[in-house]
Structure 1
C-alpha cells in the first residue's frame, strides 16, 4: 500500500467545486438517498469508454440509474460456477434486489473493444489471442458472432454492424439468466437495446418487429 499517492490536485479541486455547488444546492436530496437507499427504475449496461456518459445522455440525476460498465457493454451467458462474474453479479443485484423495471444495454460507435474483437477474429491481434489476455478472453463472448459480419468489406460498416450485434448478443445472453427470463415473462421487466453514434449525437433502439435499429 506504500505505493498509493494522494488524489491529483485537479480532481481535488473539482470535488470541492461540486461540494460547494451541486451538493450544497441539493444536500437534502443526497441525505435522503443516503438514508432511504436507492430505488432506480432502470439498470444500464454500457461500455467503459470514457466518451460514453450515460447520465448526461439521459439527463439523469443521482439514484435514477443502476449503472454497470465493462469492455464493449457485453453480458456473458448464465454460468453459475466458481469464477468471478462482476457483470452477472450486478445484473442479479439489479433484478432480484433492486427490482428494476428496465434493463438497458447501450452500445456505441468507434468501440475499441468491438474493434479489438474484429482484429482478433481476423488473426490481427496476437496480444488478444493470448490465454492470459483478460480483454481477449472477455471478447470471446462476442467472437462467435463475427461470421455474421465477416463478409462486410467496408471496415467502418463492419465495425458498426458488429457494435450493434454486440448489443443483441448481450440481449440474448440476458435471457439465459433464469431470474431475468422470469421477470420478463411476467411483464415486470423490459429489455432494451440501444446504440449511440457519438459523433452525430444520434441514439438508436433495436425494434424486434423490424429486426433492426431505428432512430429514437
Structure 2
C-alpha cells in the first residue's frame, strides 16, 4: 500500500501561479471585504445544490461575490430522502447547516445538461451498466436516489429519456428536501423558498421550475 507521504505532493506549478495571481489582484483589491468575512462570519443569502461537474460554475453564472452563496456539490445534484439513522450524510448535513444555522432565505437545486451522473443512472436502470449495480459502486448506490425517476421517463422516445431524467433529478431532489422537517417548517413559515433550475452547458440558457414545468429564466 502506498504511504501517505508518497501519495501527497506539492501543488503543481500552474496552480501555484494562479493562486499568487489571485492573491495579488482580487484578494488585495478586496482585502477589507475578506477581513470582514473572517471577523463576522458568513451570511449567505442562498444555498445552491449543484453537480460536481467541472463545467457547472455556479458563482460565475450568477456573478456571485465571495460569501454570497453556500454551495454544496455532489454527483447529479441529488438530495437523498430524509434519513435520521445515525449514519454519515454529507448532503443532508449541508442542508441542515444552511437552513438551521445560516438561515438562508433561498435553497436552489441546479441540474444541468449532459450530466454524466444522470446518464449513468439511466444506463444502470436500463441494464446497460451492470458495474453500477455492484454493491461496491459508490456512484451506483448514490444514483439509487434517482432510480424512481427512471420509471417516469422509460417510456419516452429514447433520445428524450436522459434529458427528461435530468429534469426529474431536480424535481426528486426538491421533493426529498420537503421531507426534511426543518425545511418544511421553514417553507411553511415563509422564511425559506425552494427553487429548481436547469443549466444548459452548450447554449448557456437557464430554465427554472414553475408550475411543474421548466421555463426560461
Calculate the TM-score normalised by the size of structure 1: 0.97
Matches within 5 A, 1:151-190: 151-155=155-159, 157-190=160-193
Q: CA deviation at 1:20?
A: 0.5
Deviation per residue, 1:16-68 (Å, 9 max, x gap): 00000100110110011011000000000000000000000000000000000
Distance 2:86 2:132 in 1: 24
Runs of 4+ displaced beyond 3 Å:
none
Structure 2 residue 67 is the aligned partner of structure 1 residue 93: no
Give the aligned partner of residue 193 of structure 1: 196
Q: CA deviation at 1:145?
A: 1.3
Q: CA deviation at 1:144?
A: 1.1
Distance 2:214 2:158 in 1: 19
Q: Which runs of 5+ in 1 are unaligned?
A: none
Matches within 5 A, 1:45-194: 45-155=49-159, 157-194=160-197
Q: CA deviation at 1:152?
A: 1.5
Helix, strand or coil for the counterpart of 2:70? Answer: strand
Structure 2 residue 41 is the aligned partner of structure 1 residue 40: no
Deviates more, 1:97-106 or 1:142-151: 142-151
Distance 1:212 1:198 in 2: 19
Q: CA deviation at 1:153?
A: 1.8
Structure 2 residue 205 is the aligned partner of structure 1 residue 206: no
Helix, strand or coil for the counterpart of 2:197? Answer: strand
Helix, strand or coil for the counterpart of 1:176? Answer: coil
Q: CA deviation at 1:150?
A: 0.3
1:8 to 4, 8, 12: 12
